Structure 1
């Protein structure tokens, strides 16, 4: 039986729709409290009482203690909490940057703990390369690929993630690893093997299956991916895409959609998650268009699905 109701289940919004600079080009990182409040108000206005802090918008490790406290205070003024942080594209096995990225992740854990954050979400995806930057949708450009079958690199990734997860655990946080294509957490079987190697008492999976169904290639059926990964899930990014493909796999087309209208049937997936005992945060994500409004619509859709599921 879930500890939550449909009304109080913690659902957060991502920050993908927020401005990353002021009108005069000042980055969000140094723009200050007035700018931060104006941006966060857009999320609060969609009815969210929780928001995921993304270091793509604001890097908590690079803020002063006073600035971190100010950000938490601003969120509270708007009626929101910051229960989770997502640290992305700083892989601990990125060639040439392993030590730097590991140190940054440790600093991010310390900063998140200071802010009262309870979930540390990260992964093994790396910064965009030229092909990704040049594509209309970055996921249609071929990004970096974790070396397949390289036991040494795999074990290095496992060891470093275990180190980060123990640090987070010591500070009262759980660690979740986001599924992302061409990484060691890029398929259901590989993701499960990876978290088992790290230690499931230390990490769980963030089953962001939307990252996979959007790819213009043959992909694992989303039902199978969720069936294998949800038992290990402790945090969850939810987004959806339309998808069309030829039977001979000669043609693919995908595009962002609401949770309701994409190829993943979230009614089915939410029912499965609840039946498996999932009780973690649900984070609404969306790329393109008015991301903030779509996330707001997705939150309302999710609460409706939860109401039906929990009543049955």
Structure 2
């Protein structure tokens, strides 16, 4: 599909909206009126799309009538959906029962996305936050779980299970986008490309969320080296940015969230490279900390200004 700068689907992440209401009720069990309260804030920030981040609400765990209520609420708030993003539900979690449960959940999420008319489900291999990560000011400054390096049996299990998800999605007209994340089999561009190629389904591609990598407090390749190899496989994109600094005298690294136009990733250049590689998928803008929705809205406007030039579209 060919988009203009004005109608390119750019959705707001729901990371800044908690999974429980102020009175302690899980959003999953809340009324559509409570769902609409959050979604109206997204629409009021100028968005016409939202990323249904499942840390806020899990479409895959809604019974049919509740799923229809969600569809009606989205229609009433005049929001399309760029994707359903599944967070920290690895199909190769070290606990076999958890991994199997995550696979079943992903399949239900694909079914729910198709029912809602959503064209993309974003999945990853990152695991739940550790206690140290939950206690840290910024969770990425503490070590988290990862996939075993060089373990072909686990790698093949990841391929098999993600292919199963991809095949279910293909039958429903849904694309699967694999989110890059540190210390997983999607933690380097080389591994990410290999995993997609091993899965070998045309509807399974990459979400090159390189913000997940440049924020690490350790050496990382230049952002362009992380991005360029995966662009031919990109079908969805979480965009966020970070300030990054390094003190050679102490060996200390420093990163904090930044607006998309201000951080270490040059998204003007990144979008140019992506468009040149044929990227035409939806985008989600993210930001951690403070009023993340307002920063995401500024990120959206920044991206549209760039797209208007790159697409030679005055709108």
TM-score bucket (shorter structure): over 0.9
- How far off is 1:200 after superposition? 4.6
CA 249–309 in structure 1, closer or farther in 2 if over 3 Å, else same:
farther
Choose 171-180 or 98-107, whichever is displaced more.
98-107
Provide the residue aligned with 1:25 in structure 2. 24
Which runs of 5 or more residues in structure 1 are unaligned? none
- How far off is 1:248 after superposition? 7.0
> C-alpha deviations, 1:122-161, integer Å up to 9, x for none?
0101111112112111111111110000010001111100
- How far off is 1:16 after superposition? 1.0
Provide the residue aligned with 1:67 in structure 2. 66
Separation (CA, whole Å) in 2 of partners of 1:119 and 1:286: 21
Separation (CA, whole Å) in 1 of partners of 2:141 and 2:160: 31
> C-alpha deviations, 1:221-257, integer Å up to 9, x for none?
1011111111110100000000001347811000001
Task: Give me the TM-score of the superposition, normalised by structure 1.
Answer: 0.97
Which runs of 5 or more residues in structure 2 are unaligned? none
The answer to whether the 8 A contact 2:43-2:79 is kept is: yes
Provide the residue aligned with 1:84 in structure 2. 83
Q: 1:31-110 alignment to 2 at 5 Å?
A: 31-96=30-95, 97-110=98-111
**Residue aligned with 1:142, SS:** coil
> C-alpha deviations, 1:14-46, integer Å up to 9, x for none?
001224222211111111111100011111011
Aligned length: 311
Provide the residue aligned with 1:258 in structure 2. 259
**Residue aligned with 1:128, SS:** coil
Choose 108-117 or 37-46, whichever is displaced more.
108-117
Q: 1:92-241 alignment to 2 at 5 Å?
A: 92-96=91-95, 97-241=98-242
Coordinate RMSD, CA, aligned: 1.4
Task: Give me the TM-score of the superposition, normalised by structure 2.
Answer: 0.96
The answer to whether the 8 A contact 1:218-1:249 is kept is: no
Are residue 281 (structure 1) and residue 290 (structure 2) matched?
Answer: no
Following TM superposition, the consecutive aligned residue runs of length 4 or more in structure 1 with deviations greater than 4 angstroms are none
> C-alpha deviations, 1:79-106, integer Å up to 9, x for none?
2112410112110110221211111111
- How far off is 1:3 after superposition? 1.0
Separation (CA, whole Å) in 2 of partners of 1:265 and 1:116: 33
Choose 222-231 or 235-244, whichever is displaced more.
222-231
Provide the residue aligned with 1:306 in structure 2. 307
The answer to whether the 8 A contact 2:50-2:81 is kept is: yes
Separation (CA, whole Å) in 2 of partners of 1:275 and 1:152: 36
The answer to whether the 8 A contact 1:83-1:116 is kept is: no
